[in-house]
Structure 1
Amino acid sequence: MFFSWVPLTFFHSLAIVNHQYFMVNINLSIQHRCKALEILRSFPNPVSANILAGELGISRVALWKMVRKLRELAYPIHTGREGYQLAADQDPDLLCPWELGAFGLRTEWFPETSSTMEEAKNRFSRRSQSLQRKEPTAPAQEPFYTVAETQTAGRGRFHRSWESLRGGIYLTVTLFRRVPLAIVGRYPLLAGVVWVETLQELFPTFSKGPTPHPITLKWPNDILMGNRKIGGILLDMEVEGDTATRIDLGIGFNVRNHPKDPKAAALIDLIGPSLPPRRMILQAYLHRLERALVDPYLKSAIPRWKRFSSTLGKPVRILFPASRAAGLSTLTGTAVDIGPGGELVVRSSDGSLKVVSYGDCHHRR
């Protein structure tokens, strides 16, 4: 028997080609589903199979297979002699990649998972080195997104649980870039700012009318509507020396879910049935977020955050979870400023300024 010698580089090249072919097929599948749903949502009447397949550039057999997959995901697509029709009043409003436009090509979606943050870590654990930028001022890598319809072990700061019922937005934004640790705290602040700006754009009457619901930011990571929490941001990262090489922003936002906590709120409670689909809200958010992330130093994050702050100028009490077990005292004073890295500056009763990098901030009355 004769064995010919084949260099290892051949197998490496073959693996790359196979991976690229696989990714092209995945992207085409996403684009076909996206366009098919767009067409079906645009017409109240059935769309013939010939027209739909022609618009997508695929065969009728491929169209039938695609529709079958969409039905398995709970899309109410009905088939009749006249063609395919989507029941608008039963639209599942999912956050699948094909529902997120161009962002979907960088999105991994789970109907249910323990935590999008953990899924993001698993997703990129072997790719981190190849995706990292050497210089913070280099053109920023586009973010990657990990999305779930519901989480069974969602978490907030200090490993607290985050209620993740179906109908909310549960998202991890992953960035591969080298950022000095001294300023990485700007990232969760900016993520909160972009939520406020997005909601103000989508719902301009929030802060007006007889019963206004101002949207504000509470240090360090809460998004408030009135006095009720509607969302939060969690920061995680990989570090080399004094530099973050990968940044994960875990985001939980209440949209159509109904949180059990009386101190929490959801958009559906405030807007009612006219609330647009979650996919539209998330696309609007990601569009603003990607524009804001072009500058890796996020020089505008602090002044923008101050515009929406509900913390600055208020009496506050800072609790340090790790210190309470040791019987250490808390910090009380007045929040007067935000430091260059996102720290809270508190003026204590003796007039001295304390810089707080982490902790639970409670507004005192």
Structure 2
Amino acid sequence: MLTLTLLVGLLPSAFAASSQAFVAPSTSPFVASSNYVGVSNSTLPAPTIVKGQAFDRFIQIWLENTDFATASSSSTFQTLAKQGILLSNYFSTTHPSQPNYVAAAGGDFFGLADDNLHNIPANVSTIVDLLEAKSISWASYQENLPSNTFTGLNFASKNYVSGSGTYTYYYRKHSPTVSYLSVQNVPKRLALHRNFNDYVADLAANTLPQWLFVTPNIVNDAHDTTIDYTSSWLNYWLVPMLANANFNNNRTLILLTFDENSSSSINNQVYSLLLGGAIPASSKGTTDSTYYTHYSTLSTVQSNWGLGCLGRQDTNKTVSNVFSLVASKTGYKNTNVTTIPLTNKSGTIKGPLNPSNLGPWTAPNTAAVCAGGGSVFV
């Protein structure tokens, strides 16, 4: 096993999932790590809490490229499911990885069908605009991000798994907001893309924001490894966080999901759990079979805080149902979707980021009805 680990650790990150043995990146998830290039950039200011109807903090943790059945087979995921709500009808939007992250930030993936570096025009709005319009704090925590000003495609750092050479642990394609120039070109917004040493500092200071997106590195998220490896990471990182009041209190809702499945021959169902103190005891260990997609992360946040919307797929009622736990508190009426759309094919959507099927940058639908009752952000 040691020989295999050393060899695999030297392979490029595009290599298929492999059986590396889990190595923790730090002595504890609460301790800064020399395996991350950057030291903490000091802590964020303490947020002013904007009350929501169902939760006051929303945390998304995205893992990579795993079929629903594979995740279901993991004892770690089975144990976590007993602490939360299994979303048994949650689907990704397309293949490959990057368009799913882009969609979760901007309400569309604009035809994107690759993982190359893209900069989306500055007049295209995102969830950041909606949050800031209501003074809701936010940040994106990317595990091996070298600095909070880095906008490159990827970054290699010390291979702490093999102990030899370097490994490309950070990929921009897994950072949902930084592809948008409306975020990237604003220094204050760009600075809110932070690495896990920043996270440790913010957690200790109790200054985590109200909306946060968490991306493990390329081995911890199962992209270059296996469900067993990411299960070990969850036991190392997430399980202790669930018991930490600065991360999870009775007003915290956590979504643990995958960007996409690994099989384009079947529909793009991904294993997804709702966790956190905002879930009533009576709902723990239950299953919600409502049809959801990554666009539901937008509509759910909008509904909870009474936000505006983006006037894109976040207002398409077929693909943007609000998590039932939240809809029951806000009075939002979900759509009963009986025929699940097929989202397992890549490159089929016309758009400005699809060179094989080009389309224009379209304006938001200003007549759309927002899940939060606000207006379309323009």
Same fold (TM over 0.5): no
Greater helix share, structure number? 1
Kindly indicate whether structure 1 or structure 2 has the higher relative contact order, using CA contacts under 8 Å at least 6 residues apart: 2
Q: TM-score, normalised by structure 2?
A: 0.25
Q: TM-score, normalised by structure 1?
A: 0.25
